[in-house]
Amino acid sequence: MEYPIWQLTTLGGGFWIALIATVHVYVAQFAVGGGLFLVLTERYAYRHDSPDILEYVKKHSKFFLLLTMVFGGVTGVGIWFTIALLSPQATITLIHHFVFGWASEWVCFLGEIVALLVYFYGWKRLNRSQHMAVGWLYFAFAWLSLFLVNGIIGYMLTPGDWTQTESFWDGFFNPSFWPSLFFRSFLAFMIAGLFGFLTATRIKDEAARTRMVRICALWTLAPFALFLLSGWWYVAAMPDPQHALIVAKSHRVSVFFRYFWVFSPLVVLSGLVMAVRMPRSVSFPVAFVILALGLGLAGSFEFIREAGRKPYLIWNEIYSNSILRTEVESINDTGAIARAKWAPEGLDPVADPVTAGEFLFQLECASCHSIAGPMNDILPRTAKFSLTGMDAMLDGLGKVNRYMPPFMGTLDERKALAAYIVEGLHGRTGEENKVFEEVDLPLDIPEKNDEYVLLAWNNLGMHCISDSDRNWVLLPPANDIFAQLVKRGDPPTLVTEGVTLSYAAQPEFANPSAHSEFWDYAQAIFGLPAPLEKNVGLAGNGMNGDMKLEQEAGWFEAKLIPVVPYPDDMDYNPYPLFTIQAHDASGKLLAETRVVAPTSTEMGCKNCHGGPWKVGGLAGISDATGRDVISVHDRMNGTDLVERAKAGKPVLCQSCHPDPVLGAKGNPELLNLPAALHGLHAQYLTDRGAEACTYCHPNREDGPTRCLRGRHADFATCTDCHGTMEDHAISLLRAQDGKKGRDLLLSQIKPRNYEVADDIKPRIPWLNEPDCLNCHVNFTDPGLDAFNKWTEGGDMLYRNRHDDMGVIACAGCHNSPHAIYPARNIYGADRDNIPPLQFQGEAGTMGTGGGCVCHTVKMDYGAHHENQLQ
């Protein structure tokens, strides 16, 4: 914020620092190990009276001087130049806090230069003891230089007590100082052997070349065990956050670890081969390849170290984009553009979001991400995001995945950055989702039967299907239909004996297996003993059949009917109709009605995970979307879901995560599925209203489902009952005490409508829900006070409750949750209202107008519940 930006695109993302620093550090460590290599090899030549090896040392010292002093010095200046331009805030901080350390290191570096020059030009001017003494002096200065730089670099990763004391010595002798010093020292000795191979190829005498190659192999191999042990000590010394990032959490760090474990054995194997098989025939190209392997080993370690301190340049002090941690709150209040002293005039994130976003990208992203470049290219990393998804991703930065800094700035600036990435870089414009125009499908209402009333409903206002069976399953096709048959009279009677109730889907919905892959994978996903019969659900029910009497509840039910929203005659219709019939023992039709079996695949995973809608540009999780979901899961949790899906063995989410809706026990150590999903996604969907719900659930105002279609839709939204995304997630997470990841997720979510998270009552999903009587106190008009007052258990849920007489189901008269009569459906206004239209001629609660359809006389008291007749 204090310094101008070096605007880089293709060669941005820290490319120049990575390139120059990796090479410089490799050479600098050679300058340490190579100094010891020189004096010990010179001593070896004297003791064994080997003029060939002595001559080798003389020539090697020239190579050493040119490489370490000239090339190393130039690249050292290059590091200071690039970090000053790319990370000025961190550079000035290091200088201010460690000026004594830097001054001491420069004194040592000057000592190195003088000693090495005297050493090189003293071959003929100094006697043996003097020359050796100068060589030892050089090594001492070189190692002290390493000692000093190691403390400062280590402070950037593990500042230790410095964050409280700001003491030079606390920062210098930080928690990783000693293991890092030993690790780098042993690595320096190995590198000396690798460079020795390169110059040893020039020895003309075969015997001397063989002996020297084996000496170099010894330098490469002998320190290796200590190198690995000190590396283990180094990692073990990391404080918990850095240790977790390096060892377990970051996919990016794990990539560098793989490189490290590839290059390590290759270097050792090369040393062994050089010592045993190739000392006489070794060539310069072979030696150069081995040297490059060493660069890979050293470079992978440097990348691990650099990546291990993310999202900071200086841990807990300066973020990787050079913004001070202490300034974040102020920047969020006033805006990043307003705080940036070098921002161009006239940037307006609202009027011109793409232009403002381009500057914000350079300010907050370009230090780590290039544009179509070799380092951390932003394009493939953001290609999948819609504008909504990109904004959500920026919202979630620095929370659960702490590898990246949080976005810093106002909400308008965040949206501007999202617009620049999606529209400016990827060139995507226009609507993210197709606007669905309402259709008025034909509606056939059965004739009213004066003797019987047949109440029918669905237990949920909407059954969702994940529809990504080849990759994973969250919710399978499984719709539940319920019915009660009432014989009209005074009083009316509930009929449960001597009758058969049946159900049948509309003909165009009767063949769901033709439109879904569920049956291809059901056996593997659910562990069934045999393949599931086509068009038959998990409970054995097909698309038509008889309903079973639930004696205690007093209703008939057909469970887990495998309905899908893909009819034969159109792309998508989430409201298939089922005909319910009641017959007596002789087969006589007593009553008939029709009811919607709401089923949607409009789950908005694509908004953030990319890919198109699967069907008709309207709904369904495509293969690209589904695969990305489990790819992210694998990356964040170390699972192998993608490989399992590729092998034809996709998983059921509830096989690991418990979930009351499927009665799945899962792994009791893990969060239940709704808590895990909402707890994670709440990190990315903060400060939003009901639109946060519609990003995932099928209730977009212009979408093809619009599942909240009952009378509540006229005056309420999702958040009025279920709370904002943050509060809803907190209520679920608070009931998961002791579960893995629960505390981390809770720590990142700030309540929206409550002072602290403890003010929100914990709840078990699907069992503890808002009670109708929270708003309808004593069955009166609503007061919109639903959230944070939960039903005590599943038997108290609206969909499971009966009237005051314990006979008629609440949903039988009022319809399903989210579709309370009168409901308005975008596939025909009265598609949900068939039973009340049929039996009372009006779309409303059964008994609208003061009467009751089951009674043959007008009632003057409310038998079903208090205030029924009002």
**pLDDT tens digits, 315-343:** 999 999 999 999 999 999 999 999 999 89
* CB proximity list for 510: less than 8 A, separation 6 or greater: 535, 543, 544
Domains (range + CATH), the chain: 15-303 (1.20.1630), 323-425 (1.10.760), 452-600 (2.60.40.10)
Cα-based distances in Å from 362 to 201, 321, 405, 414, 474: 48, 9, 14, 13, 39
Q: So what's the pLDDT on residue 430?
A: 65
pLDDT band at residue 144 under the 50/70/90 scheme:
very high
Q: What is the 3-state secondary structure (H, E, C) of 27-48?
A: HHHHHHHHHHHHHHHHHHHHHC
Mean pLDDT of all residues belonging to the chain: 92
Lowest mean pLDDT among 212-216, 584-588, 623-627, 675-679: 212-216
Q: Is the CB of residue 308 less than 8 Å from the CB of residue 238?
A: yes
Q: What percent of the chain has pLDDT over 70?
A: 98
Q: So what's the pLDDT on residue 858?
A: 79
Place of tokens 């973020």: 319
Q: Counting beta carbons within 10 angstroms of the beta carbon of residue 204, is it exposed (0 to 12), middle (13 to 18) or buried (19 or more)?
A: exposed
What average pLDDT does the segment 230-251 reach?
Answer: 82
Lowest mean pLDDT among 73-82, 252-261, 416-425: 252-261
Q: Is the pLDDT of residue 66 over 90?
A: yes
If you write DSSP's letter for every residue of 120-165 in order, what string do you get?
HHTTTTS-HHHHHHHHHHHHHHHHHHHHHHHHHHHHHH--TTHHHH
Q: What percent of the chain has pLDDT over 90?
A: 78
Q: So what's the pLDDT on residue 330?
A: 95
The DSSP H or E segment spanning 361 is: helix 353-364
Q: Can you tell me the distance from the alpha carbon of 674 to that of 676, in angstroms, rounded to the nearest whole number?
A: 5
Smallest CA-to-CA distance from 635 within 307, 246, 251, 310 is with 251
Q: Can you tell me the distance from the alpha carbon of 591 to that of 578, in angstroms, rounded to the nearest whole number?
A: 14
Q: Is the CB of residue 363 less than 8 Å from the CB of residue 86?
A: no
556, β-bridge pairs: 483, 549
Tens digits of residue pLDDT in 201-220: 888 888 888 899 889 889 99
Q: Can you tell me the distance from the alpha carbon of 218 to that of 601, in angstroms, rounded to the nearest whole number?
A: 65
Structure tokens belonging to residue 336: 């990043």
pLDDT band at residue 856 under the 50/70/90 scheme:
confident
Tens digits of residue pLDDT in 682-736: 999 999 999 999 999 999 999 999 999 999 999 999 999 999 999 999 999 999 9
Q: So what's the pLDDT on residue 286?
A: 80
